[in-house]
Amino acid sequence: MNTIFKIHGGIHPDEEKQLSNPGTVLDAGLPPSLILPLSQHIGKPSSLCVAPGDYVLGGQLLAEADGMVSVPLHAPTSGTVVAIEPMPVPHPSAMNNLCLELECDGEDRWIEYAGCEDWRVETPDTLISCIRAAGVAGMGGAGFPTAVKLMARDRLPLQTLIINGTECEPYITADDTLMQVDAAGIVEGAQILAHILGVEEILLAVEDNKPAALDAMQKAAKARGGDCNVMTFPTKYPSGGEKQLIEILTGKQVPTGGLPADLGIVCQNPGTAVAARDAVCFGKPLTDRIVTLTGRALARPGNYRARLGTPIEHLLTVAGFDPSQNQRLIHGGPMMGFALESSAVPIIKTTNCILVPTEQELPTPPDAQACIRCGLCAEACPASLLPQQLYWYARAKDQEQLERHHLADCIECGACSWVCPSHIPLVQYYRAAKGMIKESKTEKIRSDRSRDRFEARQERLERETLAREAQRAARRAAAEQKAAAGGADDPVAAAIARAKAKKDSASDESANS
């Protein structure tokens, strides 16, 4: 058993995990149509390879990866592409983005696919391209293309793969459920990822509030041989933050502005591990996932296996949604999830939870009161920041102090806002301040660039002027030199002589005629 390290801060909100009955997977069914955003990941949107009216089979490629940091998109069932146009997508800004609407034919016919027979004999590059072709992106929340993350092996020496089954946010039990129902798949997926990364050590991290998942993982790790180390640690939010988990498991901190790979570590989500296994062993593209549908506004909360692109309103109907006053619809968990404006948006590769609480359950926050600098936020901050000071400087728009107090290291976990007795939406202030700093940096880059251009132009003009003057001076010098060398041969005198000679000869001719 490895040692567990303590992290600073953290909070203990009500877990509410039992509400969604972890460990059982329910079927979300097939909706009449699926809405598939072309950007379900971090990076460039996928580029379409079908057109409206095309009939597609399940598993068929709909859009290809566009460039390095991108993933392809596959049809989650058979049907007809009926529209390709901007539609609302799950995003905090409630924006529209290019989506493909697939009308399901209900027959759910699939293409044939096949994977590698034995991944142990394949090269990492082959396996990475399998994972890339299957459209796997991080399923924990950020949605970074998995293949790109695995390519860290080419740049840095790696030692450790961490499978992050912490799932520290209240309510969410999607990973918990997956660990209970497919521990073997996670372990095999982890071994494939470790094989690709060339690392010896695999750490499977599970918080101690998931005894059933922990047990399943330990059994699976034992059954598959010794290189997997299942680790457990006390429940605390946000232990599952990538940086926090790395400190808990290794005692090391990811340097600011750096990546876990700088410490020789790569983190993956259990769902991603299974998706990678499916991609490598079966050639199966990523077209569905487990989503926790929870909250007391649902009659049948639970973990549902849903096809990507399933509209949330379909899921709400399946789970028995009973709307109440001040109803909120949250994509993600109660701490970091964002509220959606409409239930018409679909679930995507990164949707681990849809939370529909009642007003009693998660009351609408009252108006903020004055900050009394009680410091509870600083006690709770897992990044050891001083949120009360950041709040002050964010309100004053004091960029210098914000940077001096390391605003950029805020992971926006929401622990400070959660504890704030004055109900100040601290995280929102930090998001706005980060946006402001980013904007002013872009602005600075832009103005630097135009200043550089202006200066370059000035320099060029000056250079040209100088060059012209130099040329003129050189010509004058040459002429003077010539004049000096000719001595008596004065050009003016010569010209007069020539004119005179011409005149003389002219008068001679007239005299002759």
Tokens of 52: 């409206």
Q: Between residues 265 and 362, which has the closer beta carbon with respect to other proteins? A: 362
Tokens of 413: 């976990």
Q: Between residues 76 and 387, which has the closer beta carbon with respect to other proteins? A: 387
Q: Between residues 97 and 324, which has the closer beta carbon with respect to other proteins? A: 324
User: Smallest Cα–Cα separation from 384: which of 364, 359, 409?
Assistant: 409
CB of 351 to other proteins, least distance (A): 15
Sequence length of the chain is: 513
In the three-class reduction of DSSP (H, G, I as helix; E, B as strand; rest coil), residue 311 is classed as strand
- Residue 458 is classified by DSSP as H
Given a contact cutoff of 8 angstroms between Cβ atoms, the answer to whether 12 and 236 are in contact is yes
CB of 408 to other proteins, least distance (A): 9
Query: What's at 98, amino acid-wise?
Result: L
Tokens of 113: 């696919």
CB of 395 to other proteins, least distance (A): 12
User: Smallest Cα–Cα separation from 325: which of 367, 362, 358, 361?
Assistant: 358
- Residue 299 is classified by DSSP as S
Given a contact cutoff of 8 angstroms between Cβ atoms, the answer to whether 148 and 279 are in contact is no
* CA–CA separation, 335 and 329 (whole Å): 13
Q: Between residues 408 and 466, which has the closer beta carbon with respect to other proteins? A: 408
CB of 347 to other proteins, least distance (A): 16
CB of 405 to other proteins, least distance (A): 7
CB of 91 to other proteins, least distance (A): 12
Q: Between residues 397 and 451, which has the closer beta carbon with respect to other proteins? A: 397
Q: Between residues 80 and 327, which has the closer beta carbon with respect to other proteins? A: 327
- Residue 20 is classified by DSSP as G
DSSP string, 367-426: PP-------HHHHH-TT---HHHHHHHHHHT-HHHHHHTTGGG-----HHHHH-TT---H
Phi, psi angles (nearest 5°) of residue 228: -100, 130
Q: Between residues 193 and 297, which has the closer beta carbon with respect to other proteins? A: 297
In the three-class reduction of DSSP (H, G, I as helix; E, B as strand; rest coil), residue 95 is classed as coil
Q: Between residues 84 and 377, which has the closer beta carbon with respect to other proteins? A: 377
Strand 338-339 relative to strand 330-331, pairing: antiparallel
**Residue 425, preceding peptide bond in cis (omega within 30° of 0):** no
CB of 12 to other proteins, least distance (A): 9
Q: Between residues 216 and 340, which has the closer beta carbon with respect to other proteins? A: 340
- Residue 253 is classified by DSSP as -
CB of 375 to other proteins, least distance (A): 6
CB of 253 to other proteins, least distance (A): 5
Q: Between residues 394 and 419, which has the closer beta carbon with respect to other proteins? A: 419
CB of 394 to other proteins, least distance (A): 14
CB of 346 to other proteins, least distance (A): 16
Given a contact cutoff of 8 angstroms between Cβ atoms, the answer to whether 368 and 334 are in contact is no
Q: Which residues contact 449 (CB under 8 A, 6 or more apart)?
A: none
User: Smallest Cα–Cα separation from 132: which of 124, 120, 140?
Assistant: 124
Q: Between residues 339 and 470, which has the closer beta carbon with respect to other proteins? A: 339
